[in-house]
Amino acid sequence: MRRSFFAALFAVLLAGMLYPQAQKNNSKSTTTPTQQSKSFIDRVLDFLSISYTPGAQKGPASEITNGRIWVVDLKSGATRALTTAGNYRSPIFLGGSGDILALRGNDVVRIPSTGGDGAKIQSIEGIVKLVGAGGNEPAKVLVLLRNGSVSHPRVALLAVDTGSMTDLPYDPASSEDLQFVEDLEGWSRSYGQSRVYTKRQSKDSLAGTVEWSDVFLAVPGRQPLDVSQCDGVNCGQPSLSQDGNLLVYVKENPNS
């Protein structure tokens, strides 16, 4: 009887010692670490499939507001106008094709690689800029929109096929986020080791000094190349194709 009593007491004490440890082990087995969501900057960089150094993307805003769309074949140097009308801005290459998306007022238009004035996809009130198509999601485009009275624009993803819009919110109190948004507003952009940007040019004429903006391409080991050579007419708003072989830009109407 006494032996049974001590055996039972030992079992109770042992259970008391093991129960907290079992709870602890069970807690470890059922609790998974919280996965931090990606930051605004990382989400945009992943979408565009580019790297980023704060401030490195920023460049002078293009002097041009709108004009005709031109394309340069960077391998041959051949340049041609895609549109006859001069009311386009912010052209980019649509992923998965040679076609180009551009803005015409508030309209998003698709221009075939063969040229022509394109077809309206949809109208978006307050759209400011097409930044670029997704590296892994070619049917989506990163866009900037006016954000009420706020000085910095709203950032969103536009689904080209459906017209749906998904906001990419950022922290207006974050200096890093605001710096990045300002860089998205600029026209200087790095694509791997290549960099595209606009630069002011000037020359003397009988009427005085003539100034304009040209589009330049910089690659390692070479002098920056003036790819637009607009010679007295403002050119800007450049964007590279996904394969890096073509560059699109806007050339201002001479009489505008």
DSSP letter string over 115-166?
-SS-EEEEE-TTEEEEEEE-SS-TTEEEEEEEETTEEEEEEEEEETTT--EE
Those residues whose C-beta lies under 8 Å from the C-beta of residue 253, and which sit 6 or more positions away, are 67, 68, 86
Instruction: Read off the pLDDT band of 138 (50, 70, 90).
Output: confident
* Tens digits of residue pLDDT in 51-98: 665 655 554 555 678 999 999 999 999 999 999 999 999 999 998 788
Percent of the chain at pLDDT above 70?
80
Q: Greater confidence, 175 or 57?
A: 175
Residue 39: the pLDDT is 92
Cross-strand bridge partners of residue 108? 103, 122
Q: Which residue has the higher pLDDT, 205 or 99?
A: 99
Flag whether pLDDT at 122 surpasses 60.
Answer: yes
Q: Say how many C-beta atoms besides its own lie within 10 A of residue 100's C-beta.
A: 26
Domain boundaries, the chain: 40-252
If one compares 146 and 23, the residue with the highest pLDDT of the two is 146
pLDDT at 34 over 60: no
CA 217 to chain centre: 18
Res. 178: pLDDT tops 60: yes
The model's confidence at residue 219, banded by pLDDT at 50, 70 and 90, is very high
Nearest Cα to 227, choosing from 35, 76, 110, 74? Answer: 74
Give the contacts of 33 (CB within 8 A, at least 6 positions apart): none
Residues 132/184, Cβ–Cβ less than 8 Å:
no
Confidence band, pLDDT 50/70/90 cuts, at residue 149: confident
Name the nearest CA neighbour of 81 among 72, 91, 89: 72
Is residue 10 pLDDT above 60, yes or no?
no
Q: What is the domain class of 40-252 according to CATH?
A: mainly beta
Residue-level pLDDT at 135: 84
Neighbours of 205 (CB within 10 A): 9
Asked if 131 contacts 120 with a C-beta cutoff of 8 angstroms, the reply is: no
pLDDT at 144 over 70: yes
222 Cβ contact list (under 8 Å, min separation 6): none
| Range 13-36 average pLDDT | 43
Q: How far apart are CA 126 and CA 148, in angstroms?
A: 9
List all residues 6 or more positions away from 158 whose beta carbon is below 8 Å from its beta carbon: 108, 124, 140, 141, 142, 143, 164, 165
Arithmetic mean of pLDDT, 20-32: 43
Q: How far is residue 126's CA from residue 106's CA, in Å, rounded to a whole number? A: 7
- What is the predicted pLDDT for the residue at 2? 41
- Contact at 8 Å (CB) between 102 and 91? yes
CA distance 137 to 139: 6
- Please report the pLDDT score of residue 190 as a whole number: 85
Residue 23's pLDDT band (boundaries 50, 70, 90)? very low
Q: How would residue 154 be classed by pLDDT, with cut points 50, 70 and 90?
A: very high
Entry pTM: 0.80
